[in-house]
Amino acid sequence: MAPHNNFSDTKLAIEPNSHENASPNVEDIENSTSARNAKEISASNAAQDTPPLQHDYDTVLDMIGYGRTQWLLLITCGLLLMMVINETMGMSIVTLASQCDFATTSVDKAIMSAASFVGIALFSYVWGYLSDTTGRRRILLFATFGGCLCSLISMFMPSFWYFVFMRFVVGCFIAGPSSTTYAFLGEFHARRHNALAMNYASLFVGVGMTYVPAIAWLVLSMDWSLQLSDSFAFRPWRLMMIVNLLPGLIAACILLMLPESPKLLLSLRKDEEALAAANWICECNTGKDLKQLGVNKLKAERTMAADKVHITSKSCFQTVKHIWQETRPLVHRPYVLNFLISCVTMCGLFFSSSGMGLWFPEIQNRLSMTTAENHETICQIIGDTFNDRNDLTNTTKVCVDEISDKSYIDSISMGLAYVVGYILIGGVIKLFGRKATIIGSLLLSAVCCVTLFWLLNPTAIVVSFIVFLTMPGLCISMLGSGVVELVPTHLRGKAVCICLLLGRTGSVFGSNLIGVLLESNCHLTFGLFTGCVLVCMLLTMTLPI
């Protein structure tokens, strides 16, 4: 009972006091209410002063999801890659169709084919650097329109050396799409979709290699000539060059509607522009803006790229010095050994696939001249056609620049082989791993090249030749993805760009080597290419990819 009595006493003691001080308590309540309201206002003001929650760009892409923007980017970047293939590998057919107009020898054809690759090799790194400092979309637009314009001008070049010079200038421009397209595409995709997007974009390489001979077959089958002057005739092969640049024009027109890469804008500290670009992606994919998803600000990415803007305004010497300072870590430990091995391997892959690939239509056109009753090896056929085909020094003969239907069909078949290869390569890598896939592909390529020394059946020769060229070509993208993993993030773009630059240098050497040696020493030529593939295979074994 004692506890109960104490509680009652306390209650009775409190109640009289509360009645006596009723009025003061009302004032206290009013004061406490005012204080509480003041605190709420203060908290509200503090909330307004608090910066909005920042979202990581990759997280925002996941929130938006895969949609129309990504598909549009995939098609656009695929068309840009097609443009590069059309303007480079397409010369393999132009050299054949123009040989009477320019009176070209094998060496001249090699120079003509390699001109674009020289331009790409010299300017790839420059465009890559500019895309990091001024914007990927801007560089892609400028380089693509410039390349299309120069390609259009090259159609009207009346002489061989003017034409070669303009093809070099075309290469200088298309080095932009060649070095920047993959980076632009990847920055609009979430990380989990990146590998798939790159693989599907690479499919357009095969599409381009199918497109060129198919269009050539259609256009070059026409027999007409417009004599614009005494020394210049506009013939179907010049018209074909217009059709080859159409994918680039279409891609450039689509680029006009697309925003700049938000990821690059963030690295350049253009946060508001990056948010607007990301909002464009969101509206295109979902029909909503980012605010409806709860995103008001993107988390800034502070990288070295942000400082490059200031470097470009200085002297050329300072710019070159800055580029070297950023590239120098690649030639120092711990990256130098693997990086150099990757560069040599990439050079060998381009040497084999593109260098010989540029001569594929020429060689297949000669193979088509053999009869079913007279089976010969590929080198015997090349030797037979060396002395009696297009002998321009013999005035009793008429120059022949016709391309056989079989040559077109074989070239289309090689393009389709690339398409199928890119489709299957993802599953093969999952089963065997990237390194084993590259080694196995190069071994198969070398075996097929060796069999060309004694194969007599024309169909078997074509199949072996296609496999020999396709396997190293497919390994280029696999090795490129491996290089990305061998160096840290801030060096990846430069490493891949330099590897591809040296690779295209290999294309130039390969094409010119064939022009010098193929007809005079065919066996040595194919032997060198076989050895190159085997060396690339051995070097790949040493890479931790």
Of 326 and 453, which is predicted with more confidence?
453
Distance (Å, rounded) from C-alpha 425 to C-alpha 20? 91
Determine, yes or no, domain membership for 45: no
* Range of the structural domain that residue 351 is part of: 327-545
State the average pLDDT for the chain: 81
Inform me whether the pLDDT recorded for 31 exceeds 80. no
Q: What is the pLDDT of residue 3?
A: 44
Tell me phi and psi for residue 298, to 5 degrees.
Answer: -100, 145
Mean pLDDT within 24-52: 49
Determine, yes or no, domain membership for 405: yes
Mean pLDDT within 330-348: 88
Distance (Å, rounded) from C-alpha 111 to C-alpha 521? 19
Q: Which range, of 17-21, 172-176, 380-384, 504-508, averages the lowest pLDDT? A: 17-21
Confidence of residue 433 (pLDDT cuts 50, 70, 90): confident
Q: What is the pLDDT of residue 445?
A: 95
58 and 122 part of one domain: yes
Q: What is the pLDDT of residues 179-227, one digit of tens each?
A: 788 888 888 888 777 777 877 888 898 899 999 999 999 999 888 888 8
Query: HEC profile for 39-81?
Result: HHHHHHHHHHHCCCCEECHHHHHHHHCCCHHHHHHHHHHHHHH
Q: What is the pLDDT of residue 46?
A: 43
**Omega into 3 within 30° of 0, i.e. cis?**
no
What is the residue type of 318? Answer: Q
Determine, yes or no, domain membership for 178: yes
Q: What is the pLDDT of residue 335?
A: 83
From 278, 313, 348, the end of a domain falls on: 313
**Residue 234, strand partner residues:** 226
What is the residue type of 339? Answer: F
Mean pLDDT within 286-305: 73
Q: What is the pLDDT of residue 50?
A: 47
Q: What is the pLDDT of residue 6?
A: 38
Helix (H) or strand (E) holding 458: helix 458-486
Q: Are 290 and 296 in contact (CB under 8 A)?
A: yes
Determine, yes or no, domain membership for 9: no
Q: What is the DSSP string of 437-457?
A: HHHHHHHHHHHHHHHTTT---
71 and 204 part of one domain: yes
Q: What is the pLDDT of residue 232?
A: 85
196 and 99 part of one domain: yes
Q: What is the pLDDT of residue 51?
A: 54
206 and 341 part of one domain: no
Inform me whether the pLDDT recorded for 421 exceeds 70. yes
Number of structural domains found in the chain? 2
Q: What is the pLDDT of residue 101?
A: 87
304 and 242 part of one domain: yes
Q: What is the pLDDT of residue 36?
A: 54
Q: What is the pLDDT of residue 272?
A: 87
Q: What is the pLDDT of residue 14?
A: 37
Q: What is the pLDDT of residues 50-78, one digit of tens each?
A: 455 677 888 888 888 888 999 999 999 99
Confidence of residue 24 (pLDDT cuts 50, 70, 90): very low
Determine, yes or no, domain membership for 126: yes
Looking at the chain, the whole-number percentage of residues with pLDDT higher than 70 is: 82
Q: What is the pLDDT of residue 387?
A: 54
275 and 404 part of one domain: no
Confidence of residue 133 (pLDDT cuts 50, 70, 90): confident
Q: What is the pLDDT of residue 224?
A: 86
Q: What is the pLDDT of residues 528-545, one digit of tens each?
A: 999 999 999 999 999 887
Instruction: Indicate the SS3 state at residue 156.
Output: coil
Q: What is the CA radius of gyration of the chain?
A: 33
Distance (Å, rounded) from C-alpha 514 to C-alpha 525? 7
Farthest CA pair distance, the chain: 138
Confidence of residue 304 (pLDDT cuts 50, 70, 90): very low
Q: Which range, of 45-59, 92-106, 233-247, 256-270, averages the lowest pLDDT? A: 45-59
From 313, 339, 359, the end of a domain falls on: 313
Confidence of residue 398 (pLDDT cuts 50, 70, 90): low
Mean pLDDT within 252-263: 91
From 254, 278, 313, the end of a domain falls on: 313
Instruction: Single out the residue of 507, 494, 502, 508 nearest to residue 126, CA to CA.
Output: 494
Q: Which range, of 280-294, 306-320, 425-439, 445-459, averages the lowest pLDDT? A: 306-320
237 and 334 part of one domain: no
218 and 80 part of one domain: yes
137 and 239 part of one domain: yes
CATH code, domain with 119: 1.20.1250.20
Q: What is the pLDDT of residues 137-173, one digit of tens each?
A: 999 999 999 999 999 999 999 899 999 999 999 999 9
Determine, yes or no, domain membership for 307: yes
**Residue 226, strand partner residues:** 234
488 and 345 part of one domain: yes
Distance (Å, rounded) from C-alpha 257 to C-alpha 140? 13
139 and 260 part of one domain: yes
Of 390 and 302, which is predicted with more confidence?
302
Mean pLDDT within 326-343: 84
Q: What is the pLDDT of residue 80?
A: 94
Q: What is the pLDDT of residues 87-118, one digit of tens each?
A: 998 898 999 898 888 988 888 888 998 899 89
Confidence of residue 382 (pLDDT cuts 50, 70, 90): confident
Mean pLDDT within 243-254: 93
Residue carrying the six token digits 């080597």: 513
Determine, yes or no, domain membership for 15: no
Mean pLDDT within 443-463: 90
Of 361 and 165, which is predicted with more confidence?
165
Mean pLDDT within 386-408: 64
Q: What is the pLDDT of residue 35?
A: 52
Burial 315-345 (b: 16+ CB within 10 A, else e): eeeebeebbeebbebbeeeebeebbebbbbb
Q: What is the pLDDT of residue 397?
A: 53
The contacts of residue 536 (CB under 8 Å, 6+ apart) are 345, 348, 349, 352, 442, 472, 475
Inform me whether the pLDDT recorded for 372 exceeds 70. no
Mean pLDDT within 4-32: 43
Q: What is the pLDDT of residues 518-532, one digit of tens each?
A: 878 888 999 999 999
Inform me whether the pLDDT recorded for 39 exceeds 80. no
Helix (H) or strand (E) holding 297: strand 297-298
Q: Which range, of 5-9, 78-82, 306-310, 516-520, averages the lowest pLDDT? A: 5-9
Determine, yes or no, domain membership for 540: yes
Q: What is the pLDDT of residue 487?
A: 77
377 and 304 part of one domain: no
